[in-house]
Amino acid sequence: MQVEEYLNKIVESEGTVHLTLIDPASQSPDQAAEIAHAAALGGTDAIMIGGSTGAGGMILDQTIRKIEEKTDKPKILFPGNAAGVSIYADAIFFMSLLNSRDINFITTNQAMGAPIVYKSGIEPISMAYLIVEPGGTVGWVGDAKLIPRHKPEIAVAYALAGKYLGMHYTYLEAGSGANAPVTPEMIGAVKHVLGDNKLIIGGGIRDGQTARLCALAGADMIVTGTILEESSNVTAKIQELVSAIKR
Ligand code: 1GP
């Protein structure tokens, strides 16, 4: 089964998908593999691999290969630029940062990375990537014109643009390590116009209760990264998050 189909089936049958984000720049490949293994035991549905800074090249390849040894869960690239493509992944969120001011993050990196995706046979999953205040490192690196936190109508406008451009997924990103995720009001308003297109929420989700609020508001998928890097028991933390968002 293709990865997009796998994720969509989980949304249909179980409610909300949990995605574990691993930034290859944050730990050694072996440590990343241990986190992925623990997350899989806790019930995560797939592993996202990527980051805004220093997440490409050999460290990216090695991290994915080590993760491959430790879990069967799909490995999805979450690239910060064209260097975030690796032939060892199963799929790639082929994303455009629609609210960037810099054309490099809207189409140029995509063009530079596309031939590698084509040759490698990695599955591209088209995605509109939207960065909301506070935006964190990715907001700065991606030169995003941050969507104001309390202006859901702006997020709706961008999400509709992504949908009409043919993107299947929309990712509302508050920035890794944000104090709080995007608001339930924004999630609900965006999901309302997306219909069957899938909505991913990430940035600032640290506990089951917050994840559940996002899921109830309309998130199809929840991403957590920072909390796992900080957690002494990744499996228990994932169990808390997963049990809060599944039916
Ligand atoms: C970052 O949305 C992801 O791109 C995850 O954010 O690190 O805050 O979980 P956290």
Distance 225 CA to ligand 1 centre (A): 5
What CATH number corresponds to the domain at position 20?
3.20.20.390
- The response to whether residue 134 sits with its C-beta less than 6 Å from ligand 1 reads no
Distance 16 CA to ligand 1 centre (A): 17
234: left (phi over 0), alpha (psi -120 to 50) or beta: alpha
- Tell me how many domains the chain contains: 1
- The response to whether residue 135 sits with its C-beta less than 6 Å from ligand 1 reads no
According to the model, what pLDDT value does residue 114 have?
97
pLDDT digits (tens, 9 = 90+) for 46-59: 999 999 887 788 99
Is 228 in contact with 238 (CB distance < 8 Å)? Answer: yes
Q: Which atom of ligand 1 is nearest to the CA of 171?
A: 2
pLDDT digits (tens, 9 = 90+) for 115-168: 999 999 999 999 999 999 999 999 999 999 999 999 999 999 999 999 999 999
Distances (CA, A) of 218 to 9, 54, 96, 118, 136: 16, 32, 22, 33, 23
Is residue 5 scored above 80 in pLDDT?
yes
Phi, psi of 19 (to 5 degrees): -115, 130
According to the model, what pLDDT value does residue 56 have?
82
Alpha carbon 110 to its chain centroid, in Å, reads: 17
The domain of 46 spans: 3-245
- The response to whether residue 225 sits with its C-beta less than 6 Å from ligand 1 reads yes
Q: How many other β-carbons are positioned within 10 Å of the β-carbon of residue 160?
A: 16
According to the model, what pLDDT value does residue 193 have?
98
Position 229 confidence tier, pLDDT thresholds 50, 70, 90: confident
pLDDT digits (tens, 9 = 90+) for 160-210: 999 999 999 999 999 999 999 999 999 999 999 999 999 999 999 999 999
pLDDT digits (tens, 9 = 90+) for 42-89: 999 999 999 988 778 899 999 999 999 999 999 999 999 999 999 999
According to the model, what pLDDT value does residue 1 have?
76
According to the model, what pLDDT value does residue 18 have?
98
Distance 76 CA to ligand 1 centre (A): 15
Question: How many helices and strands, by DSSP H and E, does the chain display?
Answer: 11, 8
